[in-house]
Amino acid sequence: MTAKDRTRGAARCADCGRAMAVRLSGSAVLHPIGSTNGCPCGGTEFHELE
Average pLDDT for the chain:
85
The confidence score (pLDDT) of residue 2 equals: 52
Name residue 14's amino acid. Answer: A
Say whether pLDDT at 4 is over 80: no
pLDDT in tens, 22-39: 988 777 778 899 888 899
What is the spatial distance between Cα 14 and Cα 2, in angstroms, rounded to a whole number?
26
Name residue 44's amino acid. Answer: T
CA–chain centroid gap for 10, Å, is 7
Asked if residues 23 and 30 have their Cβ atoms less than 8 Å apart, the reply is yes
How many structural domains comprise the chain?
A: 1
Residues spanned by the domain of 38: 3-48
Q: Using 50, 70 and 90 to split pLDDT, how confident is the model at 19?
A: very high
pTM score above 0.85:
no
Among residues of the chain, what percentage have pLDDT more than 70? 88
The residues, any chain, with a CB within 8 Å of residue 46's CB and separated by 6 or more, are 11, 12, 13, 14, 20, 22, 30, 32, 38, 39
